[in-house]
Amino acid sequence: MAKVAFIGLGNMGGPMAANLVKAGHQVTVFDLVEAAMDAVVAQGAGKAASALEALAGADTVITMLPAGKHVAGLYLGEEGLIAKAADGTLFMDCSTIDAETARRVGEAAAARGLQMIDAPVSGGVKAAQAGTLAFMCGGSADGFARGKLVLEGMGKNIFHAGDHGAGQIAKICNNMLLAVHMVGTAEALQLGANNGLDPKVLSEIMLNSSGKNWSLENYNPYPDVMPTAPASNDYKPGFMVQLMLKDLGLAMENSLATQSSVPMGALARSLYASFSSKGNAQRDFSSILEMFQS
Ligand code: NAD
């Protein structure tokens, strides 16, 4: 059993922390929003009045925050988690942030002799609730081995991608590819529909042909082809357009920094930016199909 300080209890962090309680860990939580803490405290977690108070007595710290600036703000500096943690503390940041910040924070922890892994997740709120998230981790092999024992309380498929920041790189590569095949799947289905094909029949044909891909197989963007997909439920998320846009933004920033050519990702980001600005930010990302309907 680990003594876990869990900081950041939003849509994802709340259910993740609750699953750690269920897995038998001793969990103390902190969030800037009182109500977010109360929901997890009701499931058996302890409540702290600040991030530093949560840190006291913890051997493992998990953060699930919006963006890189929140992570840097919490971990770095004289009053930050890294400076104040006890020797031997393991840090795991599960937020999706830029790899540069993940490396900077990971290296600051290492400079103090502490283990840190970046451990962004794949799978949305449902997977967080069900305890079936995938984790893509960056950091030392030892840190990963130690962290995995705790991450197992929140998910399956826990990968070690490499050194500090590698988890964040794996995450942006995956989500950029997801955006590209979702857009491609949507335009292909709409092209077929514009020619009078039944999207169900066309989906079945492509699922058994070389166009088969994850979006088509698990998340069909055309309404009423797949009853369980957001497309058949008024594009209720699921995974929101604004979150896909955030991840594509991180991929583009990284492509500039590494001088990588990512024409398909750049086009997907541009399409999602335009679509988001037209009132679609909080709809499921498969609603991009509507861009191809006139
Ligand atoms: P969210 O906005 O619902 O939650 C973030 C929480 O962090 C909030 O409750 C906020 O009050 C808290 N917070 C911010 N700064 C804080 C601080 N200094 N101290 C304590 N608490 C602080 O976001 P979310 O949907 O839970 O996502 C969290 C992360 O997971 C993001 O990086 C997101 O990109 C990533 N992610 C989200 C999903 C999803 O489907 N929601 C899926 C995969 C990854």
pLDDT tens digit string along 202-235?
999 999 999 999 999 999 999 999 999 999 999 9
Distance 151 CA to ligand 1 centre (A): 17
Cis bond before residue 238 (omega within 30° of 0) = yes
Report the C-alpha gap between 86 and 291 in whole angstroms.
Answer: 52
pLDDT of residue 34: 96
- Residue ranges per structural domain of the chain: 3-164, 169-292
How many CB atoms are closer than 10 A to CB 228? Answer: 10
pLDDT of residue 269: 98
Q: Does the annotation mark 69 as catalytic?
A: no
Q: What is the CATH number of domain 3-164?
A: 3.40.50.720
Mean pLDDT by 10 residues, the chain (294 residues): 97 97 98 96 98 97 97 98 98 98 98 98 92 98 98 97 98 98 98 98 98 97 97 95 97 98 98 98 98 92
CA-nearest residue for atom 30, ligand 1, is 95
pLDDT of residue 238: 87
How many CB atoms are closer than 10 A to CB 272? Answer: 26
How many CB atoms are closer than 10 A to CB 205? Answer: 12
Q: Ligand 1, from 7, 11, 133: best to mutate by most atoms within 8 Å of Cβ?
A: 11
What secondary structure letter does DSSP report for 288? G
Residues with CB under 6 A from ligand 1: 7-13, 30-33, 36, 51, 64-66, 70, 74, 95-96, 121, 124-125, 239, 243, 246
Number of H helices, E strands in the chain: 13, 9
CA angle, residues 149, 153, 159, in degrees to nearest 5? 60
7-44 exposure pattern, b = at least 16 Cβ within 10 A, e = fewer: bbbbbbbbbbbbbbbebebbbbbbbeeeebbebbbebe
Given 171, 200, 212, 278, the catalytic residue: 171
Cα-to-chain-centroid distance, residue 179: 14
Sign of CA dihedral 156, 106, 48, 122: negative
Report the C-alpha gap between 151 and 275 in whole angstroms.
Answer: 35
CATH class of 169-292: mainly alpha
Residue type at position 196: G
